Structure 1
Amino acid sequence: MLRLITTSLSLHCRRVTALSLHLRLCTTLNSAENQQTVEALYELSVDIQRIRKLKGWVLEQSPAYTNEIAKMLKDMGASGSTVAQIFAVHPEAVLCHPDQMQAQKELWVSVCPNENKLVGIIEKFPASFFTCSSYHQNQQNNITYFQSLNINNRIISKLMAGAPQSFSRPVELNKIMVRTLQQAYQELGGQEANMKIWLQKLLSQNPYVLLKPPEVLRENLLFLKDKGFSTTELLHLLSKLRGFVTELNPQSMCRTLDYSQDTMGCSEEKLRDIVLTCPALLYYPESILAERFNGLLSAGISMSQIIETPTVMELTTQIVNYRIQQLRAHGYDIRTGSLEILNGTKKDFEVSCRKLQIRNERPLFNPVAPLKGDD
């Protein structure tokens, strides 16, 4: 009996092994693919089917340096699952020559010396790290230039990750845009002592601002000046809107301002005050503004309330409706109360709801409690 069981188990194990080998061969067998690459990715537990579906051409390239790039990432502290994720999302990484990637690593370490943090950046922005070697000198020149401006290395690494095109292009183009931004800041009354902090914040919030034509900045500022905004107000908008003046154009802003004024029925002076409180009104298209105005009005909110707290327009209709329902559950009537309670992050709103709940649960007067009398 024992012999029969042993024989049966042996046959079962051979079938499982054969089946596993068959599945593995089915997974890797493709005459057009580089079998060494596929095998190496398989050993690293990379989702090969995802690569085949989205970027199958990578698997057909030769030479490839899968194991070498994987070793470099692991030496930097990346886990096996992190390496697999990076290769699945950006398989082109295996085509990069190890020597070039070593030079790229040294370049990034100059602004991000913590290799664990660098691995996190690579995992989130693999295409920014695994770039063409022909851009290496441009990257180095741009790093040197921004460091000469005393821009924080953390901001520089964020720029390199979020807007790699700005570091791959010649440094002269970035110099032109930075000078344009600095000149606009000074002409609008910005203080020289605060310019570095202002520029850092602007680049951090909107790294793509460097890629916009300088002429767009000048045209948009001129348009807003013609609309009656003072230099101080223009500086406020330039600082508040994360470089919005390079994302918009006079035509779109004109349509948006006209629509907002007609809908709210306010004067141009009042409209400027509203925009200064809620600069987002400048870049929302008419369709979004119409949806949000209608959503607020249909919830029983008056136009005068919206004008008093225009920042509520920054919230989507779904968020507004959800928050109104939550407030009603806590006995707060948004039609008669302030709209400020709707603003803020999700966490801010949850705190406001908890305060309402505590206030509602606290008894105003306990008729059972004995009254304090004179001794």
Structure 2
Amino acid sequence: MLRSLAVSWRRSQQLPSMRCSFVMQAENAFTVNEFCKLSVDISKIRKRKGWVLYQSPVYVNETVSMLRTLGASDSTIAQVFEHHPEAILCTPEHLEDQIKLWMSICASHSKLVEVIIKFPASFFTSSCHTDHQRANIMFFQSLGFNNRVIAKLMASAPQNFRTPAKQNEEIVQAFQKMYLELGGREANIKVWLQKLLSQNPYVLMKSPEDMKNNLHFLHQQGFTSSELLQLLSKLKGFVTELSPQSMGLTLSYSQETLACSDAELRQIVLQCPALLYYSVPILTDRFKCLLCAGIHLQQIMQTPTVLELTTQIVQYRIQKLHSHGYDIRTGSLDILNGTKKDFEMSCGKFLKRERPHYNPVAPLRTDE
């Protein structure tokens, strides 16, 4: 008992000194001063990635010089540092290698600066990934991919370029095989694959087995090979993120709610593939929102894409249409669909059609 008390006392004496030593550790004054000269918001860095301010050695001036050479303004440089202060930890030699690598797929320095601003973590990466990046660029070029597309892939999904090119090659070959087995044409395979990866580059991080299992499940539900190919293209690669269990629950719930046949359900899914990856609770809220607004199930079946909209968007758009005299209960639901811009244009066309044509300047017709 006495021994345990003694141990506890010693630990209690050590903890304050450990905390004090951490607190007393000073930030790198050089880093802070250089950031201040560039009008970098230090408070943002301290809040999000304060650990960078304690690092040494750092290459602030070298990184600034490199970015200025590429054409970046000081305000742009400050923005990059605020979002990704780790940039100052990259050696000048590594930055030179990165510039050469990226300029092999970027059309100009200004395009590279755009990449750095939007995806700084993709450019200021570890030097241990350079060989994989180079090999993967060569691999995608061998597929006939446009350099602009490759740059977009490496910027938005850098993880794909940090893995061995052989691994990406095996996954791509699996996708190509599935595409051809479903009836896709050899002549279209490059365009299809390029579109698939552009829409969702993270499919390269998924297992081809997951996609095979999902396609097998959908085939069991009655979807033909051509329909599966259609779904595979429309789902933007999300089919790899689904599972037979989740799709089964969603399809069962949707069919029960809509009171439709198997064939009708398949047509609904083909019109609205997103239905497959919405969970039952989300669909429950969206069906409830539509039905509470007086919309009939038959209307939803005719325009199932309305289920892609959140309840907040649906409620707002229904209220706005109602204020303009449009009765959603009897009209088409197509007017609810689309982006905010599409919806505003649809409202404008409806108002123009309904508004009486009256020219206040035109002379009145009178009986002579």
Take 2:108 and 2:254, find their aligned partners in 1: how far apart are those partners?
48
8 A Cα contact 1:51 1:88, kept in partner: yes
Secondary structure in 2 matching 1:266: coil
**Equivalent residue, structure 1, for 2:69:** 75
**Equivalent residue, structure 1, for 2:187:** 193
**Aligned pair 1:361/2:355, yes or no?**
yes
- Over the aligned positions, Cα root-mean-square deviation in angstroms equals 1.8
The code of the aligned residue for 1:227 comes to Q
Aligned runs of 1:200-349 on 2, under 5 Å?
Answer: 200-349=194-343
8 A Cα contact 1:155 1:203, kept in partner: no
The code of the aligned residue for 1:239 comes to S
- Deviation of 1:362 (Å): 2.3
Q: What is the aligned counterpart of 2:29 among 31, 35, 42?
A: 35
Q: What is the aligned counterpart of 2:345 among 351, 355, 362?
A: 351
Secondary structure in 2 matching 1:56: helix
Secondary structure in 2 matching 1:45: coil
The code of the aligned residue for 1:185 comes to Y
**Equivalent residue, structure 2, for 1:103:** 97
- Deviation of 1:354 (Å): 1.1
The code of the aligned residue for 1:67 comes to N
8 A Cα contact 1:256 1:282, kept in partner: yes
- Deviation of 1:370 (Å): 6.2
Take 1:45 and 1:199, find their aligned partners in 2: how far apart are those partners?
44
Q: What is the aligned counterpart of 1:134 among 123, 128, 134?
A: 128
Report the TM-score, using the length of structure 1 for normalisation. 0.88
The code of the aligned residue for 1:133 comes to S
Secondary structure in 1 matching 2:330: coil
- Deviation of 1:31 (Å): 4.9
**Equivalent residue, structure 2, for 1:184:** 178
Q: Structure 1: which 5+ runs fail to align?
A: 1-29
Large movers: runs of 4+ above 3 Å? 368-371
User: Deviation string for 1:232-264 (max 9, x for gaps)?
Assistant: 000000000101211111111111111111111
**Equivalent residue, structure 2, for 1:3:** none
**Equivalent residue, structure 1, for 2:162:** 168
Identical aligned pairs, as a percentage? 59
Take 2:312 and 2:270, find their aligned partners in 1: how far apart are those partners?
25
Secondary structure in 2 matching 1:362: coil
- Deviation of 1:161 (Å): 0.9
* More divergent stretch after superposition (50-59 vs 310-319): 50-59
The code of the aligned residue for 1:195 comes to I
Report the TM-score, using the length of structure 2 for normalisation. 0.90
The code of the aligned residue for 2:204 comes to L
Take 1:369 and 1:299, find their aligned partners in 2: how far apart are those partners?
44
8 A Cα contact 1:330 1:360, kept in partner: no
- Deviation of 1:329 (Å): 1.9
- Deviation of 1:286 (Å): 0.7
- Deviation of 1:353 (Å): 1.0
User: Deviation string for 1:179-229 (max 9, x for gaps)?
Assistant: 011011100011111111111110000010111011111111111111110
